[in-house]
Structure 1
Amino acid sequence: MDKFWTWLWHGSREGPRGIFNVADRYILIHCAISIFLVLFLKNGPVDFAQKALFPACSILVGLSMAWTTRAATLLQSKDLRDKLFNSKRPAEDYIYGFQLAILVVMIMLCYLAIMAGGGLNISIFGQPWDLKISSFWMFFLISMTLRECWGVINATNMLSMLEYIRAK
């Protein structure tokens, strides 16, 4: 059995590296969304983080945790585990996939907490560019978090459907 960090960077026995769950072709969509929001959102990122995101983050964390718990409950079924886990898709790919989604949420929450607090007082390219770069990463992480939360819900629903079909 691989540990999470080994799975993330090196993959499981037969599967790809776990990082490819988030570093895939859809990353371009997250970049496009982020660039659009940096260019056209009226409020600055600090105001945005302070006013809108902490309640939304609470909801996303709650959803991810609840659905991950549901998935863990479903994976307790021996018949379902026997159908899902094999040499091509070991248990690590399923279980650590959920853990990776929670890690993305936690990274986004830490970044938002820093942004809501006014950001870091470090200037590299000058304030206007630094603010745009910080905004880009904030919106990028938000977009990734939304995708990962949806992925947790979708995977759990698929497990629920498999359990239902298996029980028939």
Structure 2
Amino acid sequence: MTSDRNLSRELRIQQLHAELQARNGFWPWFWRAGVVSFLDRWLVMHVVAGAALAFATTGKLSDIAVPASVPFAAILVGLAVAWSGNASALLQSLELQRIGAGEDGRATLFRAWVFQYQAAVLGILACTTAWALAAAGIFNNRLVAWLPWWVRMAGRAALFCFSCITVRECWQVVGAVQMKLLGQLELKRQERLIAASRAEDAKKLAEKSQ
């Protein structure tokens, strides 16, 4: 009887977890709001930079990717992992949890912060995978060679554009962590000022009562 109750409880927990994942998981947020976050005014600059690099570089993508992909991936992944760890520590602080909870207590802003970091890591992994495929020569096969030159050039520009977006996302992770750290320090300062003001008011009230 006890085992049946435990099994029923575990099933309810799994069902609740599945419902929360479907409603508040990363992928629903990503397709609803995450993709839109990449479509800002900086996208024009990334497209221009990608096109310029596509026309400026010569040779096959595999020849470019082999010497560039490994250090490029190491730098991006290292930065993302290091600053994501700092972000995780900051988001666990009580100050940022109170801010992220919002007035309604539904933690909509807090979930957006978490998913934004996750989206940045996803972009870095996708860009690293794309350059690894280029290094493997997948873009030099016969099917790609049969495509018109402008299609091949557009794909080349898209890969460089994706790389520019990834660099920006990596920088935004660093900037977001720094801003949240400054926000945490400012919130602590305000709390100290409020506590000091209340202590001063209590002291004045005690002096008047005497």
User: What's the TM-score once normalised by structure 2's chain length?
Assistant: 0.70
Contact 1:61 1:105 (C-alpha < 8 Å) held by counterparts: yes
Structure 1 residue corresponding to 2:98, chosen from 71, 74, 82:
82
Counterpart Cα distance in 1 of 2:148 and 2:68: 23
Larger proportion of helix: 2
Partner SS for 1:24: coil
1:134 to 141, 155, 158: 155
1:45-80 deviation line (CA, Å, top 9, x unaligned): 221111112211111111011101101101111122
The number of aligned residues is 162
Match of 1:93 among 112, 120, 123: 112
Q: Are 2:65 and 1:49 equivalent residues in the alignment?
A: yes
Q: In the alignment, which residue of structure 2 is the partner of 1:152?
A: 173
* Contact 2:69 2:128 (8 Å CA) reproduced: no
Q: Deviations over 1:54-109 (max 9, x none)?
A: 21111111101110110110111112221233159522210000000011011111
Return the alpha-carbon distance in structure 2 between the equivalents of residues 155 and 36 of structure 1: 29
Query: 1:24: how far off?
Result: 2.2
Structure 1 counterpart of 2:194: none
The structure whose RCO (Cα within 8 Å, separation 6+) is larger is 1
Is the CA contact 1:18–1:97 (under 8 Å) kept in the aligned structure 2? yes
CA-based RMSD: 2.0
Unmatched 5+ stretches in structure 1 = 11-16
1:112 aligned residue (125, 131, 138): 131
Equivalent in the alignment of 1:14: none
Larger-Rg structure? 2
Per mean C-alpha deviation after superposition, the further-off stretch among 60-69 and 122-131 is 122-131
What corresponds to 2:53 in structure 1? 37
Deviations 1:10-69 (A, max 9, x none): 2xxxxxx12112122322111100100111124432211111122111111110111011
Q: State the distance in 1 between where 2:74 and 2:84 align.
A: 15
Percent identity between matched residues is 27
SS of the aligned residue for 2:138 comes to coil
CA distance in 1, matches of 2:135, 2:151: 16
TM-score w.r.t. the length of structure 1 is 0.86
Q: Quote how far apart the aligned CAs of 1:127 are.
A: 6.6
Say if 1:115 and 1:127 are closer, same or farther in 2 by CA, change over 3 A: farther
1:124 shift after superposition: 7.2
> 1:145: how far off?
0.5
